[in-house]
Amino acid sequence: MKTAVVAYGGAVHAAVPHGQGLLLEDGRALSEDEVVWLPPFQVGTVIALGLNYADHVKELSKELTVSARDEPLVFLKTAGALIGHRGFTRRPRDATFMHYECELAVVIGATARKVRREDAMRHVAGYTVCNDYAIRDYLENWYRPNLRVKNRDTCTVVGPWLVEATDLPDPHNLALRTLVNGKLTQQGTTADMINDIPSLIEYLSGFMTLRAGDVILTGTPDGVVDVGVGDEVVCEIEGVGRLVNTIVGDDLFGR
């Protein structure tokens, strides 16, 4: 089952897919552009993986010192960084290299503490698509990724749907791709993760408690390119969804 959370008519609604676009819980059928899309789950702690695909490590090898052999590179984000499907992501005027990151997002459904790998998937509620932007101008190689790179308002797009875990029996064999203004710029497969979902849950729950609504962003493959104001970026993951958003400039925010 796929579910979404949207705003319409001054209220927040749960929704499911429909031939017209989506169906609100009160029975109204609407098109995608009639609603404001919100993150499709109640967001808790946002846990993000950096450099979790070997080809992406290679792509950035000249500027970073992390290798595929190291302990997972994990950092936290606040829920305030997240926006929904069809939202606007702000590119600061001084940015010279801002890129997307198409990622499978794993939503936790049950409290996990010191979970063994073989039991880890029982704690997953479902999956959604994430586009986690980074501004490489702000990256500090000695402490990566720093707060200005990865916890920016509007720079983490999620949705449109939350797909129940039972509807996606093999999340480690999904095609993933990104298109910028209709041009394919990134493609890969979740089979190429360095640290898979069970190992990440085992690792994280070994030192912190994971709770329902926490979300793990599992990293991106190679193929990231600079995007500019006006670009439409589409991230697609097989069986999970098609996430669309647009890059905007400072002027839209009044400064």
Q: How do residues 79-89 score in pLDDT, each as one tens digit?
A: 999 999 999 99
Whether the pLDDT of residue 184 is over 90: the answer is yes
Interval 74-100 mean pLDDT? 95
Positive or negative: CA dihedral 184, 186, 192, 198: negative
Whether the pLDDT of residue 56 is over 60: the answer is no
pLDDT at 73: 85
pLDDT at 24: 98
CATH number of the domain located at residue range(s) 41-253 in this protein: 3.90.850.10
The whole-angstrom separation of Cα 63 and Cα 57 is 10
Contact between 133 and 155 under an 8 Å Cβ cutoff? The reply is yes
Whether the pLDDT of residue 165 is over 90: the answer is yes
pLDDT at 58: 58
pLDDT band at 57 (very low <50, low <70, confident <90, very high): low
**Closest to 50 measured CA to CA, from 103, 106, 123:** 103
Give me 80's structure tokens. Answer: 């305030």
pLDDT greater at residue 137 or residue 118 = 118
Give me 217's structure tokens. Answer: 């962003």
Whether the pLDDT of residue 62 is over 90: the answer is no
In this structure, the number of other CB atoms found within 10 A of the CB of residue 116 comes to 11
Whether the pLDDT of residue 67 is over 60: the answer is no
pLDDT greater at residue 182 or residue 145 = 182
Q: How do residues 234-251 score in pLDDT, each as one tens digit?
A: 999 999 999 999 999 999
pTM: 0.93
Interval 151-165 mean pLDDT? 97
Query: Which H, E and C letters describe 58-74, residue by residue?
Result: HHCCCCCCCCCCCCCEE
Alpha-carbon radius of gyration of the chain: 17
Question: For residue 209, what are the contacts with CB-CB under 8 A and spacing of at least 6?
Answer: 111, 112, 113
State CA 88 to chain mean position distance. Answer: 15
pLDDT at 28: 97
pLDDT band at 144 (very low <50, low <70, confident <90, very high): low
Domain boundaries, the chain: 1-38, 41-253
232-237/124-132 β-pairing: unpaired
pLDDT at 102: 98
pLDDT at 66: 52
pLDDT greater at residue 150 or residue 202 = 202
Residue range 1-38 in CATH 2.30.30.370: yes
pLDDT at 70: 66
